[in-house]
């Protein structure tokens, strides 16, 4: 398909402008040298709009745009549950989890685990998260992003991988989290504008020029099976979205792990000016999540009507981008790259934060200076991106639906992670041994169920393993008979009250979700 001259010029202007703005917003005052707080937590100065936009920009990447559109092509609107249920999850995280994290003054999730349990839990989980972020998250976003660029422009994937890796590092390496977060508002505007354009053109194409509303009505009439939000057991896709479990089962565990205890997500809230600003940003992100299926799922469903013979479902979104006329393709292409680059830079920054704070500073060089920590952080970001670029194609090149693969893989570990944090938050007796047991049990039990009960949908498996991890951790804690842990969180001293604006926002999200699920149950 390729980019025309005007499209290419638009895209180049976007790239240059973003790099310039990233450096400009993250520059330091004369005489002040950037320290670890500046680099990893944006000087704890992020306003609500930057937090909300950055949460979405970090989340919506090639994994969602390409992968979820592919799932929309194969499964339908049911995959939107990941987005819509995330909206209410965000509000719960904002009300009950973020106050605890901010009160503890932490930089990373492993750091919290040491404060609550011990250094063993911190080190083990730090190493685990580094592995997942490099070999699952970074690689998947790089691969799917390069696949999209290759489909749209015709260039070889290796060049797309190299461009994404270099560009993502280039605009984030100097400023760290501040550069990423404060440019994410541009990324989100582009993402929403470009995504809505693709959806509009796809629906208009279906209606033969009669408009997107008519096109949507025709989709409802022609492929009604694509609009089942709660799949029945006889659905061929039930194993991916097992009916009522998307509302009351394992999806809650997946969402709490991602939105509550995921470093490159929570790091934005940790960098807020204060708790109220963090909660306003989270509420803003929740409403953006309600909009996301229109951008990332509808094009996939439209592709099922317009291009039903695609070789792979993950080709659905790039195929729909071909509908964008010359002159506008540059904007739409920039929107796609914006989403990919933002996620990559966010992940790289979080990888560097965990390595520097939880391993380098904690275990290798406790006397490391602030300047040295910033240098190590930048170096680790570059190394992580380089590794991910080299292993992306070998790891993911043969997959049809990368989004489902990623969920399946992370589902091995998320039950234990959620169990550790929930017990650490709300049960004063929980011990370090019980936390380690939950982490190990999660992987072992998931492996057992995966191999000896393959018919069990992975989302149900996540729910069952979570409950078993909770039971194992509780039993071990009771056997130890240590009483209340000296590092336990005093919930009595925590302020979980939220503003009337946050409460109204929560009510609005609940009403919208109820309307959506009642309409397409």
Report yes or no: 326 and 7 within 8 Å, Cβ to Cβ: yes
> In this predicted structure, what is the pLDDT of residue 32?
60
- 454 token code pair: 């393959």
Residue 96 confidence class, pLDDT cut points 50, 70, 90? very high
Measured from the Cβ of residue 451, the count of other Cβ atoms closer than 10 Å reads 8
Cα dihedral 66/249/253/231 (nearest 10): 0
* Calpha distance 400→368 (Å, rounded): 45
DSSP state string for 242-306 = -TTHHHHSHHHHHHHHHHHH-HHHHHHHHTBSSHHHHHHHHHHHHHHHHHHHHHHTHHHHHHHHH
- Burial of 291 (C-beta count, 10 Å sphere; 0-12/13-18/19+): middle
DSSP 400: S
* Calpha distance 377→180 (Å, rounded): 14
> In this predicted structure, what is the pLDDT of residue 1?
52
How large is the average pLDDT for residues 376-396? 87
pLDDT > 90? residue 174 = no
> In this predicted structure, what is the pLDDT of residue 2?
59
> In this predicted structure, what is the pLDDT of residue 150?
82
Q: What is the pLDDT of residues 368-383, one digit of tens each?
A: 888 898 899 889 999 9
Cα dihedral 136/137/143/148 (nearest 10): 140
- 248 token code pair: 């009351």
Q: Distance between alpha carbon 415 and the CA centroid of its chain, in Å?
A: 17
Report yes or no: 202 and 320 within 8 Å, Cβ to Cβ: yes
> In this predicted structure, what is the pLDDT of residue 427?
93
Which is more confident, 271 or 314? 271
Measured from the Cβ of residue 455, the count of other Cβ atoms closer than 10 Å reads 6
- Burial of 508 (C-beta count, 10 Å sphere; 0-12/13-18/19+): middle
Q: How far is CA 297 from CA 57, 70, 293, 519, in A?
A: 17, 8, 5, 17
The residue behind tokens 């040491």 is 114
> In this predicted structure, what is the pLDDT of residue 400?
57
How large is the average pLDDT for residues 132-138? 87
- Best mean pLDDT range from 22-26, 75-79, 504-508: 504-508
Give percent helix, percent strand, percent coil of the chain, each to the nearest 5. Answer: 75, 0, 20
Mean pLDDT is lowest, of 33-47, 433-447, 486-500, for 33-47
* Calpha distance 258→83 (Å, rounded): 12
The radius of gyration of the chain from alpha carbons, rounded to an integer in Å, stands at 22
Half-sphere exposure of 297 (CA within 13 A, CB side): 23
> In this predicted structure, what is the pLDDT of residue 425?
93
Report yes or no: 115 and 425 within 8 Å, Cβ to Cβ: no
Half-sphere exposure of 425 (CA within 13 A, CB side): 19
How large is the average pLDDT for residues 69-81? 89
> In this predicted structure, what is the pLDDT of residue 405?
63
Q: How far is CA 294 from CA 77, 230, 380, 498, in A?
A: 10, 18, 36, 30
pLDDT > 60? residue 149 = yes
How large is the average pLDDT for residues 307-326? 84
DSSP state string for 152-200 = HH---HHHHHHHHHHHHHHHHTTTTHHHHHHHHHHHHHHHHHHHHHHHH
Which is more confident, 478 or 229? 478
* Calpha distance 273→90 (Å, rounded): 19
Q: How far is CA 103 from CA 44, 45, 209, in A?
A: 13, 16, 55
What SS3 state is found at 141? helix
In this prediction, what percent of the chain has a pLDDT beyond 70?
95
Measured from the Cβ of residue 323, the count of other Cβ atoms closer than 10 Å reads 18
> In this predicted structure, what is the pLDDT of residue 465?
96
What SS3 state is found at 369? coil
Domains delineated in the chain: 46-403 (1.20.1730.10)
Measured from the Cβ of residue 51, the count of other Cβ atoms closer than 10 Å reads 27
Residue 31 confidence class, pLDDT cut points 50, 70, 90? low
Q: How far is CA 320 from CA 257, 267, 299, 311, 400, in A?
A: 32, 34, 7, 14, 18
pLDDT > 60? residue 295 = yes
How large is the average pLDDT for residues 61-81? 83
- Burial of 5 (C-beta count, 10 Å sphere; 0-12/13-18/19+): exposed
> In this predicted structure, what is the pLDDT of residue 18?
83
pLDDT > 90? residue 48 = yes
pLDDT > 60? residue 483 = yes
How large is the average pLDDT for residues 261-274? 89
> In this predicted structure, what is the pLDDT of residue 204?
93
> In this predicted structure, what is the pLDDT of residue 45?
84
Closest CA to 414 of 266, 264, 249, 254: 254
Q: How many residues does the chain have?
A: 521
Report residue 312: phi and psi, to 5°: -135, 140
Residue 505 confidence class, pLDDT cut points 50, 70, 90? very high
């Amino acid at each position: 398909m390729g980019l025309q001259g005007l499209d290419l010029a638009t895209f180049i202007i976007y790239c240059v402008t973003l790099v310039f703005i990233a450096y400009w917003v993250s520059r330091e005052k004369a005489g002040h040298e950037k320290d670890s707080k500046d680099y990893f937590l944006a000087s704890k100065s992020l306003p609500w709009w930057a937090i909300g936009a950055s949460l979405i920009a970090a989340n919506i990447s090639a994994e969602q745009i390409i992968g979820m559109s592919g799932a929309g092509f194969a499964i339908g609107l049911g995959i939107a549950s990941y987005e819509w249920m995330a909206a209410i999850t965000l509000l719960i995280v904002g009300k009950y989890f973020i106050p605890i994290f901010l009160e503890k003054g932490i930089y990373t999730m492993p750091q919290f685990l040491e404060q609550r349990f011990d250094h063993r839990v911190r080190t083990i989980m730090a190493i685990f998260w580094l592995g997942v972020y490099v070999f699952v998250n970074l690689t998947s976003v790089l691969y799917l992003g390069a696949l999209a660029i290759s489909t749209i422009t015709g260039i070889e994937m290796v060049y797309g991988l190299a461009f994404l890796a270099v560009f993502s590092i280039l605009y984030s390496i100097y400023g760290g989290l501040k550069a990423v977060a404060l440019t994410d508002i541009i990324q989100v505007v582009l993402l929403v504008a470009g995504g809505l354009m693709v959806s509009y053109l796809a629906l208009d194409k279906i209606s033969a020029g009669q408009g997107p509303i008519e096109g949507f009505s025709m989709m409802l009439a022609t492929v009604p099976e694509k609009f089942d939000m709660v799949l029945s057991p006889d659905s061929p896709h039930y194993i991916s979205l097992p009916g009522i479990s998307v509302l009351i089962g394992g999806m809650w565990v997946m969402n709490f792990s991602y939105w509550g205890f995921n470093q490159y997500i929570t790091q934005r809230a940790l960098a807020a000016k204060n708790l109220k600003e963090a909660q306003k940003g989270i509420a803003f992100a929740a409403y953006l999540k309600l909009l996301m299926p229109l951008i990332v799922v509808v094009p996939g469903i439209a592709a099922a009507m317009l291009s039903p013979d695609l070789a792979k479902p993950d080709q659905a979104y790039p195929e729909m981008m071909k509908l964008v006329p010359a002159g506008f393709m540059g904007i739409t292409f920039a929107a796609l790259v914006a989403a990919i680059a933002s996620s990559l830079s966010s992940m790289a920054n979080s990888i560097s934060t965990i390595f520097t704070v939880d391993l380098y500073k904690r275990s290798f060089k406790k006397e490391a200076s602030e300047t040295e920590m910033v240098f190590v952080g930048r170096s680790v970001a570059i190394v992580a991106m380089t590794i991910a670029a080299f292993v992306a194609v070998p790891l993911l090149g043969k997959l049809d639906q990368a989004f489902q693969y990623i969920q399946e893989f992370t589902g091995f570990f998320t039950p234990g992670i959620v169990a550790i944090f929930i017990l650490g938050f709300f049960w004063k007796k929980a011990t370090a041994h019980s936390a380690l047991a939950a982490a190990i049990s999660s992987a072992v039990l998931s492996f057992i169920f995966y191999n000896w009960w393959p018919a069990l949908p992975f989302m149900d498996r996540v729910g069952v393993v979570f409950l078993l991890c909770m039971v194992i951790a509780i039993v071990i804690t009771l056997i130890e008979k240590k009483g209340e842990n000296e590092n336990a969180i005093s919930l009595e001293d925590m302020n979980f009250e939220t503003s009337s604006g946050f409460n109204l926002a929560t009510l609005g999200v609940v009403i919208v979700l109820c309307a959506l699920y009642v309409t397409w149950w």
